[in-house]
Amino acid sequence: DPVEAIRELTGGFGADVVIDAVGRPETYKQAFYARDLAGTVVLVGVPTPEMKLELPLLDVFGRGGALKSSWYGDCLPSRDFPMLIDLHRQGRLPLDKFVTETIRLDEVEKAFERMHGGDVLRSVVVL
């Protein structure tokens, strides 16, 4: 049980920040209960339109903290992309560690199928 494991690692309190990078109701609920009472849950994974989350409203009220989403990293591309490129060029942002596979342009549809099946996290198209 990931919630119990996180609570055990934090002396029973929970984590200060929990990031749900999957975007499924099951993982969001785990993130919600794995955070400290004053902690923050950040939803990064993008849910599908039909997904619903069911949480007791009293738990949302009683646990305090913050619940937020982060669409595209909440960044300003014109400002942040040049900075991220610079960090990558300096070797301080190892982007290659975030790439599961490289593909050709004609393999995009199959890559999306693998991504939806949970087999791949990130595919990069090489032209």
pLDDT by residue (tens digit) across 103-115? 999 999 999 999 8
What is the C-alpha to C-alpha distance for residues 97 and 25, in angstroms, rounded to an integer?
27
**Mean pLDDT of the residues in the chain:** 93
Domain extents for the chain?
2-73, 94-127
Stated pTM of the model = 0.63
Return the CATH fold of 2-73.
Rossmann fold (3.40.50)
Confidence of residue 90 (pLDDT cuts 50, 70, 90): very high
pLDDT by residue (tens digit) across 16-52? 999 999 999 999 999 999 999 999 999 999 899 999 9
Q: Which helix (H) or strand (E) holds 68?
A: strand 66-69
